[in-house]
Amino acid sequence: MTRYSRGRWKSRAKTEEGDEMIEKRNRAPISEAKARDKVLAYALKLLAAKGRSENQLREKLAAKAWIDAAYIDDSIARLKELNYINDRAFAMNYATSRLALKSIGKARLARELAGKQLSRDIVEETLAAVFEEVAEEDLLDQALAKQVRLHGKPMDEKSVRRLIAYLMRRGFPYDTIARKVRRLRSEEN
């Protein structure tokens, strides 16, 4: 017998065992209260692994076939009551931690927050609060200094375009980037 065939035997044995367990599960229905508790426990497990917005958690729970939509609503209502789900607090925490780790602009942070399925008004409030504390120009200066430190000052047009494209991807406004890069090139001469 080869090693490969032994692996097949093991997988067949596990499959047969699993089929028996599935049959046993299907025979004994669980009570409604137990099902609600199970959904709540799963939601808590998801939140413990990573912070999520309400819509992200709702989508993740809905992806499971065994979860009823009514149980999802009940679980989310309970989590809101316990203050485990708070989209405003989640957005602020995400934005401040993101800006602490990387120098990114308002546009990129807005895209990321929208990607977290947060409402537009929460995104706008969060951006206003976060960029009130930290100026976007300071973040641009940090990103520019890091890029210059790693790759040197841009000498030709190709490197200037590359630098501008990099900073645009970081979410900074073009007019501010152009002004900073012009100033950097004038210091060079």
- 61 within some domain: yes
pTM of the model: 0.78
pLDDT at 10 over 50: no
Which residues span the domain enclosing 110?
A: 87-133
Residues 94 and 126 in one domain: yes
Domain count, the chain: 3
Residue in this structure with the two tokens 């607090």, named with its chain if needed: 89
> What's the pLDDT at 2?
46
Pair (40, 68) in one structural domain: yes
In a domain, residue 1? The reply is no
* C-alpha span between 119 and 84 (Å, rounded): 18
Q: Which residue has the higher pLDDT, 138 or 25?
A: 138
DSSP reduced 3-state for 67: coil
Per-residue pLDDT band for 7 (boundaries 50, 70, 90) equals low
Q: Is 30 helix (H, G, I), strand (E, B) or coil?
A: coil
pLDDT digits 0-9 by tens, 156-179: 999 999 999 999 999 999 999 999
Q: Are residues 32 and 74 in the same domain?
A: yes
Q: Are residues 114 and 152 in the same domain?
A: no
